[in-house]
Chain A
């Protein structure tokens, strides 16, 4: 994958991540601290976490084609680095204070990670469906 294509993919993922972070904040906030009040600065939170969450994505970038095992290994390393980076960032900006917060936060990050990958998978599945449809039409037409 070219670096340009990789950045394009990151940009698409960024929007998915920020949406998922917003949803996670809403769900966790309503469940854990429903009376909390905050100002406009709170809107920066999903954007910032989305950006910080994208930085470890460079682990998955490779100019060369990775084998299935290499890709799987990089994904595993990516999720670990992602968790560590976001937890460290969370403590640094002061939204995390205790272990109980951290474990819930890490679970949210993992769920968002799965959601982003699932959405990406769904796009690929849709493309595969269209390709299969066109292939069938092409092969059927040529058999006539």
Chain B
């Protein structure tokens, strides 16, 4: 595919236009990536709000009634429920891997099986997150089948 990049002035809105013969999986992936690249989310540290780029989030964890997003350096509290986060960003390469964790597929270094049908995902940060047994088939379907 031929790629063209054109610089525009600050007054104009940035946009990406894909000219293709058919909207196949590759095109859908590119669209999904472009959408995710520009997305930000409000995160709170000590009641101070910051904008976090979705791409910087390694994983999101629900602890009691609070939800936290983990980036390489900081932990932000999100003012939403875990199910709301996954509903909004599932098609942005986020995957619910257990009852209380959502993981960024782009931040997984590798996965390996552990006892009882579960997998352990090692992130680029070195942290390890368990992928629950019930979510393993969904991960396989999402990654190996279709619908990335």
Residues of chain A whose beta carbon lies under 8 Å from any beta carbon of chain B: 1-2, 5, 9, 60, 65-66, 68, 71-72, 75, 120-121, 124-125, 127-128, 130-132, 134-135, 138-139, 141-142
| Complex: A134 Cα to B124 Cα, angstroms | 16
A66 touches B111 (CB 8 A): no
Secondary structure class of chain A's binding surface, majority of residues: helix
B144 touches A138 (CB 8 A): no
B98 touches A135 (CB 8 A): no
Q: A124-B117, A130-B144 are in contact. Are A139 and B106 (CB under 8 A)?
A: yes
A66 to B, closest residue via Cβ:
B116
User: Interface-forming stretch among B67-75, B78-86, B133-141?
Assistant: B133-141
Min C-beta distance of A38 to chain B, whole Å? 38
Q: Please, what's the 1-or-0 string for B91-122, where 1 marks a CB less than 8 Å from any CB in chain A?
A: 00100001100000110101111111101000
B115 to A, closest residue via Cβ:
A71
A131 touches B115 (CB 8 A): no
Tally of A-B Cβ pairs under 8 angstroms: 67
5 closest Cβ contacts across the A-B interface? Answer: A124-B113, A71-B116, A134-B143, A132-B110, A71-B115
Min C-beta distance of A63 to chain B, whole Å? 9
With a cutoff of 8 Å between Cβ atoms, the chain B residues found around residue A142 in the complex are 29, 33, 106
Q: A124-B119, A142-B33 are in contact. Are A135 and B113 (CB under 8 A)?
A: no
B134 touches A138 (CB 8 A): no
Of B98, B113, B136, B139, which one neighbours A121 at CB under 8 angstroms?
B113
